[in-house]
Structure 1
Amino acid sequence: MAAPRPDTRGIVEASDLFTHVRFRRREPAPALRPYLEHYWLIDWDLTQPFVSHVVPHPSVNLVFQRFESGDEGERAGFAEVSGLGLGLFAQKLEGRGRVCGVQFRPGGFRPFAPGRPVSQWTGLRLPADEVLSAPPSPAAVLDPEDEDARIAALDRCLLSLGPHPDPGADRAMAVAERVRADRSLLRVGQLARAEGLSVRSLQRLFSTYVGVGPKWVILRYRIHEALERAESDPKTDWAALAADLGYSDQAHLVRDFTATVGAPPTAFAPR
């Protein structure tokens, strides 16, 4: 599998985030790479609060967190499963803290929690012990000061949970990756035909393994692309981009973008 992607898709005003926190991505163990996008690590030590914003990927995350100081004072580490987020995600950071996260590939979480469809976790953030059969200790992941030791702890905890072989998960991951990579796939019916599935079968596959329908995934990846263009290219031709992304017109793209991100594309133009 390829190394973690270097892009910042989904992170709103990524350059601002990176001036406030130390953010990096790391590869998991080889046996885990078919199921995981990457590990993501954040550490911060702030004199003023900062709010980060993310347009979530169609992915489940397992997140280990510790807020060492701030308005709430010190808080022991905890682990939660963050189901696929439907709206803009905001997180207030203050004082000192640390997060070690696991971003699963779309479709890649269920082999670690095979008992229920992934759609059951969509839009929810739940303690890890409510979702996983043998949740790892937050201290084992968060305590090591050495970053490689934290990565090794993440590897151990995930390998202890599985993954359980599941052809359905393999198919869902492959289809979701096709959506991400192929900009010409703009309609659910078109995707279903390309995969040799009925629309209903494709919808069931995505509900069970990804957590949302294929139409939602197509639109979310297109919004990610639009956000990246908005933040990097002040001369973006929005009418042309709307057509490229499968929208009927520029106004439709701007409406979806604004509803998802909270502001129109022009608000994110480079200064």
Structure 2
Amino acid sequence: MTSDALGRIGTHGRIGTHRHIGAHGRIGILGTPWQAVPPLAALAPWVTDIGATSLDVERGTGRDSFMGHVPDSATKLVFRLPTEGSGGGGDWLVLGPRTRASYFVGGKRLHGCLQLRIRPGAARPLLGVPARDLVGRVVPLAQLPGPAGRALARGLADTEPEPASVLRYLAEELPRRLTPGTPAERARDAVLRAAVAGLSAGAASESGPPQARVAELAHRLAVSERQLRNLFTDAVGVSPKHHARIDRVRQILLRAPQGSTPDWARLAGATGYYDQSHMGAEFRELMGVAPTAYVAGRLPAGTPCHRSDRRAG
């Protein structure tokens, strides 16, 4: 993320006008403008990209107040910007991996958000807890167990509550937390990075369904399937197979946005499914609605949006 890109994130996080799909193929929050940009070089060991949503509007009732979060195997650090005139300093939340979509309604004034996607394997050193303990949860940063999360929360609380300032603070502070790992730790991180890349939907059409790809990948990385599963569950929060399933559904969301008319059979093949029926069943399981209903905007009914700590699916 360049200094110019940093400057584009204003006080209320208004960058871009995309509807739930940001730059670099990232999927954001349904029903909100969203854009993602690469992180500053100093944050790259911790963060894959930074996104902003423009939520600083008064939401009404019915579909005008509707929001949804799509499945995502990433753990995220989210800064909710203070609303204008609130006098508050905003707050920091940790969003754990989300295994299924969730849909919400609410009539309150919502915050703009700055979202940092934590790199696979970085949750434990950054937050002090493994990703597996955060699955389906939304937790205030200051309430995480252990000193790491609380220390980070204290530092952020003393920072000017606007995106450019908090990103500068993180760019200065996080490199101090990055310690050279042992040879074993570096080898484990290399295996994890290779596994995440190997299970991306971009490789799906060449390598077959997730379970076959996990076995093939473990063999290629010279680890057992059990070792790969344990590494993934601890560092990412979900199993390799579930990560691959989530990634494939996210690729469908990217290639078949709402209002489009996709060629479903071709899309199924391009994202590694056996056929269109297989794609539809998996999409419905993770998104709660069939692909055709999704692109037509027929989404499940939302539930009231509650504050953390909560289970989010």
TM-score range, shorter chain: 0.7 to 0.9
CA distance in 2, matches of 1:135, 1:89: 28
Equivalent positions of 1:167-246 (< 5 A) are 167=186, 168-180=188-200, 181-183=202-204, 184-185=206-207, 186=209, 187=212, 188-231=214-257, 234-246=260-272
CA distance in 2, matches of 1:170, 1:111: 16
CA distance in 1, matches of 2:57, 2:138: 25
Which segment is superposed worse, 90-99 or 43-52? 90-99
Does 2:53 correspond to 1:39?
no
The structural deviation recorded for 1:213 is 0.5
Match for residue 153 of structure 2? 136
Deviations 1:117-160 (A, max 9, x none): 3212222222223145122344445623xx43232123234335
Uncovered stretches (5+) of structure 1, i.e. residues with no partner = none
Does 2:168 correspond to 1:155?
no
Match for residue 27 of structure 2? 10
> What RMSD over aligned residues (CA atoms) do the two structures have, in Å?
3.3
Report if the CA contact (8 A) 2:38-2:49 is conserved.
yes
Report if the CA contact (8 A) 1:58-1:106 is conserved.
no
Q: 1:68 to 1:213 in 2, by over 3 A?
A: same
Match for residue 119 of structure 1? 132
CA distance in 1, matches of 2:83, 2:261: 43
Match for residue 53 of structure 1? 68
Report if the CA contact (8 A) 1:60-1:104 is conserved.
yes
The structural deviation recorded for 1:246 is 3.4
The structural deviation recorded for 1:84 is 1.0
CA distance in 1, matches of 2:35, 2:275: 37
Does 2:108 correspond to 1:87?
no
Deviations 1:212-267 (A, max 9, x none): 11000111111111122221784433233324433333222112112222321112
CA distance in 2, matches of 1:236, 1:35: 35
Calculate the TM-score normalised by the size of structure 2.
0.69
Match for residue 97 of structure 1? 111
Uncovered stretches (5+) of structure 2, i.e. residues with no partner = 6-21, 298-313
CA distance in 2, matches of 1:136, 1:93: 28
